[in-house]
Structure 1
Amino acid sequence: MTIRRTLIGLTGFLGLALLATVAVQISSAVEAYRRASTLVESNTARRALSEAAAVLAAERSQVYLTLQEALPPEAVVPDLPRETDQALAAAMDRLRELSPYLGDELRVFFDMPRRIRELRENAVSAQKGDQATRARVAEQWFEGMIAAIDTVEALQRDLLAEGQAADPVWTAMIEMETLSSTLLDYIYRNQARLPTLLNVGRRDPNLLDPAQRNAANTELTLRQLRDRLIADDPAVRRHLSELANSYFSSYRPVEITILQAVARDQRPARQPEDWLLEASRVLPWVERLQYDLSQRSAGRLQANLTEAAWSAARWLTLLLCGGAAVAGSIYVIQRRVLFPIEALEHAMLGLAEGKFDTPLPPATRNDEIGAMADALRVFKANAIRRKRLQDERTILHEKLEEAYGQVKADLEAAAAVQAALLPEPGQVNGVGYYGYFKPAHFIAGDTYNVFGLSDGRVIFFLIDVAGHGAPAALVSVASHYSLVQALIARKPLEGLARAVETLNDDWPENMPYFTMVLGEVDPILGKGRMVQAGHPSPLLISRAGMITALGDGGLPIGALSQVPFEEVLFDFNPGDRLFVYSDGLTEAENDSDEAFSEERLHDLILQQLHQNTPDMLAEIERTVRSWCAPRDLDDDLTMLILDAKPAKTGATHT
């Protein structure tokens, strides 16, 4: 193979490789832009749905109060039905562009204007009837509008599920916005219910029970909203703080006073106008918070879209420059390397054959070493060629280092977001909880959560996705969200096992399986129950120093569908502790490939019984790291301890 063919072939190969790499990046950037554009459209539709839900709730309250004769005539807003129709029409226009991503809820939504018109016609007809007729139609109206708002919220959840894996931070903000919409709906419900109770003047379970549930759900939703706050926007924090202050200092006390008086069949001192005034004070704060969250989420999506467009433009520019560079490189090699070498070859062959009249390339010196200078020119050309190739490899190496740095920065950002989603150590409903979370790499396939219910129970879970790293972390976020949705969707009398079975049956077959412990404790009753799905058995540490392993394993979530799960019952009295951990603890290996083992863990816990819970966690972590030294942990390590605090003197369970 001649030097010409070698150089042209090598340059062409490197050029094509570079252009192919850039082309792949352009394709990825274009796909990212398409996904970002779809998310922007989806978010716009979701915002239109939020506005529709708000005006539906407002019209629901106004018509209900009018039928129940609890709303003064001067408080009626005549344009509210028109605003509702306009909001629904705007949402429909947005949803028509996204219909392939939505299910049966879309058909129900498009039929909503007809159903609302029927409800309005019934309400108008009932205005001419007696009080019993108006009350009956008022309840039909209220339940029909609740169903309409539920349809809107279902569509919002579908739109959120479509884009939740694209941007975890955006997903967290949208979850906050969804909670604020739910909060607004609950407040609107009791805005209508309580004046009716005040007008009735007696204890009516059909009106009182829904009002009490709405009040409890309102407080729970507001607390969840505060617990999930991750936005760094001062306006969001300020409006959430003002909302909480208005709710707990004014709205909530009045609501409790009215509900307690009605529950005791007493006539409250408050009038319907007083309650409507209190509700009108807190509603604007919820709407301001919704607006701030909506603006922030839309801004983040728009920034992602702009960044995707700039990325595609940058890679396209690099492709054009790369093509020009390849053509230029071939031209330069022809003119600066190959032609001089061929001239030198011709001259050297002529001289070797004794053709002393062979013309020589121009030399820098015209003396007796001219021929040596011509020969050195050949070596110099080769050196230049080697240097050029080395420079190209250096540039490629620098690009690889830059790409690695970007990947590392992205993983560190993802790790920060993942850590922010975990609950801080604290206490809820008389149960302290303390966690330790250490990914094997930047991000982990483990996750956990602890939260309290309004009836005094405390829900906890710990998830361990098979594998670790970015794929497992994404699955952990999905499993975390799916488990919470399964808990929310379960009926009041259904146990934990049913929620786990629903999660297992709905888990996609193409997704990795994961192990899990889901449980709840009632510190008032001193009881607990849990469901184990292929996870290491939690350890119940009694106040007397006994350690009991709970459960016998079970199947992981996603391993087999249509399998039953069983609940394990246990006592959970003051002073008891429940230790839940991932298998990264007992399977941690030392230099001799020996696992730490459950026996060593039990012995270590027995030695630390006198320590408080945070110190016990710290000692377990220190001992495991010492066991593995000098090696690093090969798997994610997650620990969670629930601590049943002694009941305070005089405390009651409400």
Structure 2
Amino acid sequence: MLRANSAISPVGEKNTDTPDDWVDVSDTDPALPLKILVVDDSRMQRKLLSATLRKAGYEVLEAESGAEGLEMCARHDVSLILSDWMMPGMSGPEFCRAFRSMAREGYGYFILLTSKGESAEIAKGLNSGADDFLTKPVASGELRARLRAGERILKMQAELIDKNQIVNTALRRIETLYDALNHDLSEARHLQQSLVRETDIQFSEGRIALNLTPSGHVGGDLVGQFRVNSRQIGVFSLDVSGHGVTSALMTARLAGYLSGLTPDHNMALEQDPTGGFRARDPADTVSDLNELLLRELETEHYFTIALSIIDLTDGKMRCVQAGHPHPILVHEDGSTTLLGDGGMPVGLIPEAPFESFETQLQPGDRLVLYSDGITECASPKGDMLEEEGLAQWLTKSRAQTGPEVLSSLLDQLTTFAGGDEFGDDVSAAIFDFTAHAPR
């Protein structure tokens, strides 16, 4: 179908447009509705415009006033509007403002027809919401150019709508996947926290309190304890590098190597000649974990750990510190001692050296193992709690029980950080040595 050459000028005025002014409508997007509403109180001007537009392949609707034009727009999906400026009752700019206020799914390209040529009047028309204007008498070539510009705008809008639909569909799918992932991560958090099966373990020689609070859904911290035999216990705190699922999976793997439920697989234990179990030197345990991590797990993660083996009969403790924060010994009088000399993290260097050290616990002493999520907890100003701040707080809370200390510690960290969203996992193990076991 060809758009015909036609002058849209007052009757009797010569047409100077060439036949090439109108082009084949096949080069437009067939999905675009080529429906034009012509609004003019002059019946002759409407018929001239409508006839030319119909020959060009448009479906044309007519209205003799702005009010009738609004009714047409309410009943029909009009994409292009040609409206006279000066009309009785409702002017072209007033009609345009009313049209813009209508609830519509698509955009309507609005062209004002006017004999006004002053820039102030043109600005007034554009400010009313019009997209373009044409000065009377209207030449078909200029009209064609303006309509083609409007069609390009409408085509871009249609493409944008299609792309938005694709994006919205993708977002809905992502939201569905996120909800499923969020549910799985919440379950994973519960499973990870279940690795700390008991948080308050009491026995005749002492009491152990444990807390594990991941900073996100899942984290890389772990605290735990295991019974070696009737005389010894093991207490540990470890922190896998990074955050998220991979760190949590590695934490779960390490939990199996230090589990009290399966002593045969606990790398901190070895069988004694009687068929029972005894503790290995903590440094040997960590050394084996280092080689295992480098040899078998094939991961970029590493971890830090403080592992203590405590003899309940005499209070002797043997401990290894491998890149983990210094264990804190809180004495009965409230004074504190930082234990260990740092050491290297586990899983970085083959055959890395690890050394154990010994400490004598006295009845009333409290051993605190913790992750750096506590000491590196930052205030809104960026200040960190650090080991000194933790030690001071442990001194003040010396009269509290281990579980009370951990509960109030979380409250203190929340106050210090200005909220309960911590930047790192928070975990701690507290062992209170109350008395020697009877021989």
Range into which the TM-score falls when normalised by the shorter chain: 0.5 to 0.7
- Measured in 1, the distance between the counterparts of 2:374 and 2:56 equals 81
Per the alignment, residue 103 of structure 2 pairs with none
Q: 1:367 to 1:643 in 2, by over 3 A?
A: same
- Measured in 1, the distance between the counterparts of 2:370 and 2:352 equals 24
Per the alignment, residue 300 of structure 1 pairs with none
Give the one of 233, 255, 263 matched to 1:480: 255
Q: How does 1:75-114 map to 2 (within 5 A)?
A: none
1:501 aligns with 2:279: no
Q: 1:375 to 1:588 in 2, by over 3 A?
A: closer
Per the alignment, residue 397 of structure 1 pairs with 171
Give the one of 460, 485, 494 matched to 2:235: 460
Per the alignment, residue 180 of structure 2 pairs with 406
Per the alignment, residue 229 of structure 1 pairs with none
Is the 8 Å Cα contact of residues 211 and 223 (structure 2) preserved in structure 1?
A: no
Displacement of 1:403: 2.1
Q: 1:624 to 1:362 in 2, by over 3 A?
A: closer
Per the alignment, residue 538 of structure 1 pairs with 327
Q: 1:386 to 1:429 in 2, by over 3 A?
A: same
Q: How does 1:120-199 map to 2 (within 5 A)?
A: none
Q: 5+ unaligned residues in a row in structure 2: which ranges?
A: 1-24, 37-47, 81-106, 109-150, 260-264, 273-277
Q: Specify the SS of the correspondent of 1:339.
A: coil
Deviation string for 1:210-257 (max 9, x for gaps)?
xxxxxxxxxxxxxxxxxxxxxxxxxxxxxxxxxxxxxxxxxxxxxxxx
- Measured in 2, the distance between the counterparts of 1:357 and 1:422 equals 79
Q: Specify the SS of the correspondent of 2:211.
A: strand
Deviation string for 1:528-576 (max 9, x for gaps)?
1111110011111222333111101100001211122111111123222
Per the alignment, residue 112 of structure 2 pairs with none
Q: How does 1:330-341 map to 2 (within 5 A)?
A: 338-339=29-30, 341=32
Q: How does 1:608-623 map to 2 (within 5 A)?
A: 608-623=397-412
Q: CA RMSD in A?
A: 3.5
Per the alignment, residue 146 of structure 2 pairs with none
Per the alignment, residue 377 of structure 2 pairs with 588
Q: 1:360 to 1:437 in 2, by over 3 A?
A: same
- Measured in 2, the distance between the counterparts of 1:542 and 1:357 equals 98
Per the alignment, residue 42 of structure 2 pairs with none
1:423 aligns with 2:197: yes
Deviation string for 1:327-354 (max 9, x for gaps)?
xxxxxxx99x933659779xxxxx8899
Is the 8 Å Cα contact of residues 457 and 523 (structure 1) preserved in structure 2?
A: yes
Q: How does 1:67-466 map to 2 (within 5 A)?
A: 338-339=29-30, 341=32, 358=55, 360-362=57-59, 376-378=78-80, 382=154, 387-424=161-198, 425-428=200-203, 430-466=205-241
Q: 1:362 to 1:632 in 2, by over 3 A?
A: closer
Is the 8 Å Cα contact of residues 528 and 569 (structure 1) preserved in structure 2?
A: yes
Q: Specify the SS of the correspondent of 1:407.
A: helix
Q: 1:498 to 1:491 in 2, by over 3 A?
A: farther
> TM-score normalised to the size of structure 1?
0.43
Deviation string for 1:78-134 (max 9, x for gaps)?
xxxxxxxxxxxxxxxxxxxxxxxxxxxxxxxxxxxxxxxxxxxxxxxxxxxxxxxxx
Query: Which residue identity does 1:420 align to in structure 2?
Result: S
Q: Specify the SS of the correspondent of 1:487.
A: coil
Query: Which residue identity does 1:454 align to in structure 2?
Result: N
Query: Which residue identity does 1:568 align to in structure 2?
Result: F
Q: Where do 4+ consecutive residues of structure 1 move more than 6 Å?
A: 342-345, 351-354, 364-370, 372-375
- Measured in 1, the distance between the counterparts of 2:183 and 2:233 equals 36
Displacement of 1:449: 1.4
1:604 aligns with 2:384: no
- Measured in 1, the distance between the counterparts of 2:160 and 2:355 equals 70
Query: Which residue identity does 1:487 align to in structure 2?
Result: M
- Measured in 2, the distance between the counterparts of 1:375 and 1:627 equals 61
- Measured in 2, the distance between the counterparts of 1:408 and 1:340 equals 41
- Measured in 1, the distance between the counterparts of 2:315 and 2:189 equals 36
Displacement of 1:395: 3.0
Is the 8 Å Cα contact of residues 334 and 396 (structure 2) preserved in structure 1?
A: no
Displacement of 1:431: 2.9
Query: Which residue identity does 2:221 align to in structure 1?
Result: D
Q: 1:638 to 1:467 in 2, by over 3 A?
A: same
Q: 5+ unaligned residues in a row in structure 1: which ranges?
A: 1-333, 346-350
- Measured in 1, the distance between the counterparts of 2:77 and 2:236 equals 78
Query: Which residue identity does 2:330 align to in structure 1?
Result: I
Query: Which residue identity does 1:561 align to in structure 2?
Result: P
> TM-score normalised to the size of structure 2?
0.62
Displacement of 1:393: 3.5
Is the 8 Å Cα contact of residues 486 and 502 (structure 1) preserved in structure 2?
A: no
Q: 1:597 to 1:338 in 2, by over 3 A?
A: same
- Measured in 2, the distance between the counterparts of 1:399 and 1:570 equals 57
Query: Which residue identity does 1:414 align to in structure 2?
Result: A
Is the 8 Å Cα contact of residues 428 and 451 (structure 1) preserved in structure 2?
A: no
Per the alignment, residue 136 of structure 2 pairs with none
Displacement of 1:401: 2.2
Q: 1:394 to 1:652 in 2, by over 3 A?
A: same
Q: Which has the greater radius of gyration? A: 2
Q: Specify the SS of the correspondent of 1:461.
A: strand
Q: 1:342 to 1:455 in 2, by over 3 A?
A: closer
- Measured in 2, the distance between the counterparts of 1:607 and 1:356 equals 89
428-437 or 519-528, larger mean C-alpha shift: 428-437
Query: Which residue identity does 1:592 align to in structure 2?
Result: K
Is the 8 Å Cα contact of residues 523 and 572 (structure 1) preserved in structure 2?
A: no
Is the 8 Å Cα contact of residues 35 and 78 (structure 2) preserved in structure 1?
A: no
Q: Specify the SS of the correspondent of 2:239.
A: strand
Q: 1:367 to 1:389 in 2, by over 3 A?
A: farther
- Measured in 1, the distance between the counterparts of 2:244 and 2:207 equals 30
Displacement of 1:389: 4.7
1:570 aligns with 2:261: no
Per the alignment, residue 40 of structure 1 pairs with none
Determine which structure has the larger strand proportion and give its number: 2
Q: 1:364 to 1:519 in 2, by over 3 A?
A: same
Q: 1:598 to 1:354 in 2, by over 3 A?
A: same
Q: Specify the SS of the correspondent of 1:506.
A: helix
Displacement of 1:630: 4.2
Is the 8 Å Cα contact of residues 523 and 574 (structure 1) preserved in structure 2?
A: no
- Measured in 2, the distance between the counterparts of 1:592 and 1:552 equals 30
- Measured in 1, the distance between the counterparts of 2:402 and 2:420 equals 27
Percentage of matched positions with identical amino acids: 26
Query: Which residue identity does 1:358 align to in structure 2?
Result: K
Q: How many residue pairs are counted as aligned between the two chains?
A: 310
